[in-house]
Structure 1
Amino acid sequence: MDDAPHVDEQELIRDGFPGQRMLVLPRPLVRAALATPVTRELLVTDAGYFPRAGGHGRIRHRPISQAVVMICVRGRGWCATPAGRFDVRQGEVAILPPHLPHSYGADPEDPWTLWWIHISGESVPILVEATGATTQSPVQVPGDLHHLAALATELISVMERDTTAPRLLEASGIAWHLMTSLITSHKSHADTDELLDTIAQQLRDNLGNRPTVSELASTVGLSASHFAALFRQRFKVPVNQYQIQLRMARARELLDTTSRPVADVARELGYDDAFYFARQFGKLHGISPSKYRRQDKG
């Protein structure tokens, strides 16, 4: 969480982005649907897709009755609640509860690409609460971002066909699926960072093991691609490169402090092929392990 951003409301762009898709139900239709069984529980009132939405943002001083769900599939942005400002990164979802003032906007240097929906109805507060989203922690990390984006795509496609009662009911069902997917897979920023830190520590403590990205991702309940993206955001390097850096740091330590053969050093670090280890070492350091050991480091 950061301090509230200094934003000129006049400079924010609500919509009108090249390639966007957007649907807003007429408010008389919203009122009618919210008085109808089933859709009174959950109704999608607005939905859209904003690709690379530079300048996008909104400040709502007056609360609205809908919850706002924003799925960031690329780029970055922010959202703000009465509790403060929160970064929204690629692969994350901002959930803004109804009946509270809020604001949000795209990062000026790397503007987000968003799927977003507004939902209203008697069950919405319970669903939002079940996701774990609060004014103090509105940003969640879903286990499968692509699944959420696919549901948002399907939802908008359904509503673009027409806004008859059967179609609104179908959209409500998709929105239920989307929200329950968030409920069963959500993690907060802090939770995810803690999990990533734990994974990194495990890699440091077990240099001889060489788990794949998929194996690491499965231990924290994320898809491989999503885990890889979050890991890179956290540590500024890809997972595989991070593992190589750890092994090479340990290799330098062993070469500097022991007289063990290079092949033994390679085996300790999980390299069955000493020649492959030497090539990786040389690629990173510009010299072979043997030459590194002989060089004057004083």
Structure 2
Amino acid sequence: MKTRYHFDNIEEPVMIPFTPLPVSSKLPYQLCTIGYVHFAQDFYTQREGQQNYQIIHTDAGSGLLTYKGKRYTLEKNHVILIDCNEQHHYCTGPAGEWKYRFLHINGGGCPAFYDTINQSGLTPVLLAHSSEFNYCFQKILAYVEEGDLRSDLVIPVHIMRILTELALNRNNQHTRKSEYHRQVIDDAVRFMENQIGRADFSVTEIARHAGFNENYFSRLFKRMTGTSAQEYLIRLRIDRSKHLLKKSAKPVSEVAFEVGFENVNVYIRDFKKLTGVTPLKYRLYAEGV
């Protein structure tokens, strides 16, 4: 691990390390360090090879981050999730001061959230309302400072809530255009739900309904939801078929046709890919649930 830094304090930094007990060491999220800092113009940190992830929430001023060859300005209410194994450098930004809170975290669940939040490259997330982040951060900080015996089992829950909040808001730019795009995708999903019983229903028709060409709509859908329109449509069909499998005695082939699959073998293949079992086994296991 390589780290260089220079502190230029406005307030004394608070950085509290935390070592999980064995009871929580295999949970998907663990806390390594939590803290808050307020630096003047000459602060910087340069790091690589650290085996954890870092969440940074800018509370005031601004910061500059160089990560994977790109530079990002981190302004008030921007939150980022970075992989500290990658070479990166951050410092006080043009505001001349930078006040931020941070968590270093680890665990098997972190890579999936990192990929979800940063699926199009590193994404500073704008939280217009930081109440969820503030609540979870304060809870984690209190558990660490008080040495609460429940901390090893409760802290991972709050870490997951913070990561979920970032994932939900990763496309939140608070512009008229982004709000319009969100409405377009919401309307497209409702259109899918109403049409999934049609075997001839396609992404082309969904895009036409939304008022875009298919290529642009597909890119927009992927950016806003994290998955392709075709994958989302298949999942809707599979979810609808689960309901039919549990609530009716219809043959698997009839269920497949009712949710828009022309070929029962394709339905069985897609069902098993998403659930890990065949439709028939799902019906047997789900009976009475």
TM range (shorter): 0.5 to 0.7
Deviations 1:138-179 (Å, cap 9, x if unpaired)? 311124224312321221121111175x31222221111111
Q: Is 1:186 matched with 2:188? A: no
Task: Identify which range, 97-106 or 177-186, moves more after superposition.
Answer: 97-106
Q: Is 1:95 matched with 2:89? A: no
The separation in 2 between residues aligned to 1:24 and 1:109, in whole angstroms, is 29
Could you say which residue in structure 2 is the equivalent of 1:157?
Answer: 142
Q: How does 1:239-278 map to 2 (within 5 A)?
A: none
Of 133, 141, 163, 2:126 maps to 141
TM score, norm. by length of structure 1: 0.52
The separation in 2 between residues aligned to 1:16 and 1:52, in whole angstroms, is 5
2:101 aligns to what SS in structure 1?
strand
Runs of 4+ in 1 over 4 A off after TM superposition: 35-39, 191-194
The separation in 2 between residues aligned to 1:153 and 1:81, in whole angstroms, is 28
Q: Is the 8 A contact 1:143 1:185 kept in 2?
A: no
Of 12, 24, 40, 2:17 maps to 24
Unaligned runs of 5+ in 2: 181-289
The separation in 2 between residues aligned to 1:90 and 1:44, in whole angstroms, is 24
The separation in 1 between residues aligned to 2:4 and 2:52, in whole angstroms, is 23
- Matched to 2:133, the amino acid is L
The separation in 2 between residues aligned to 1:39 and 1:59, in whole angstroms, is 29
- Matched to 2:107, the amino acid is G
Offset of residue 53 of structure 1: 5.1
Could you say which residue in structure 2 is the equivalent of 1:70?
Answer: 56
Could you say which residue in structure 1 is the equivalent of 2:72?
Answer: 86
TM score, norm. by length of structure 2: 0.53
The separation in 1 between residues aligned to 2:85 and 2:78, in whole angstroms, is 22
- Matched to 2:129, the amino acid is D
Could you say which residue in structure 1 is the equivalent of 2:38?
Answer: 51
The separation in 1 between residues aligned to 2:119 and 2:89, in whole angstroms, is 14
Q: Is 1:115 matched with 2:108? A: no
Offset of residue 20 of structure 1: 3.7
Q: Is the 8 A contact 2:123 2:170 kept in 1?
A: no
The separation in 1 between residues aligned to 2:160 and 2:179, in whole angstroms, is 33
Of 145, 148, 155, 1:171 maps to 155
Offset of residue 24 of structure 1: 1.2
Percent identical pairs in the alignment equals 12
Could you say which residue in structure 2 is the equivalent of 1:239?
Answer: none
Q: Is the 8 A contact 1:94 1:138 kept in 2?
A: yes
The separation in 2 between residues aligned to 1:156 and 1:37, in whole angstroms, is 17
Could you say which residue in structure 2 is the equivalent of 1:12?
Answer: 6
- Matched to 1:121, the amino acid is G
Unaligned runs of 5+ in 1: 1-8, 199-298
Higher strand share: 2
Deviations 1:48-86 (Å, cap 9, x if unpaired)? 1113555333101x3211111100121111111113111
Q: Is the 8 A contact 1:115 1:149 kept in 2?
A: no
- Matched to 2:111, the amino acid is P
Deviations 1:237-278 (Å, cap 9, x if unpaired)? xxxxxxxxxxxxxxxxxxxxxxxxxxxxxxxxxxxxxxxxxx
The separation in 2 between residues aligned to 1:44 and 1:78, in whole angstroms, is 25
- Matched to 1:153, the amino acid is Q
The CA RMSD over aligned residues, in Å, is 3.1
The separation in 2 between residues aligned to 1:161 and 1:74, in whole angstroms, is 27
Mark the structure with the bigger radius of gyration.
1
Cα distance, 1:78–1:40 mapped onto 2, change above 3 Å: same
The separation in 2 between residues aligned to 1:193 and 1:115, in whole angstroms, is 26
Could you say which residue in structure 1 is the equivalent of 2:256?
Answer: none
Could you say which residue in structure 1 is the equivalent of 2:231?
Answer: none
Cα distance, 1:160–1:176 mapped onto 2, change above 3 Å: same
The separation in 2 between residues aligned to 1:194 and 1:58, in whole angstroms, is 36
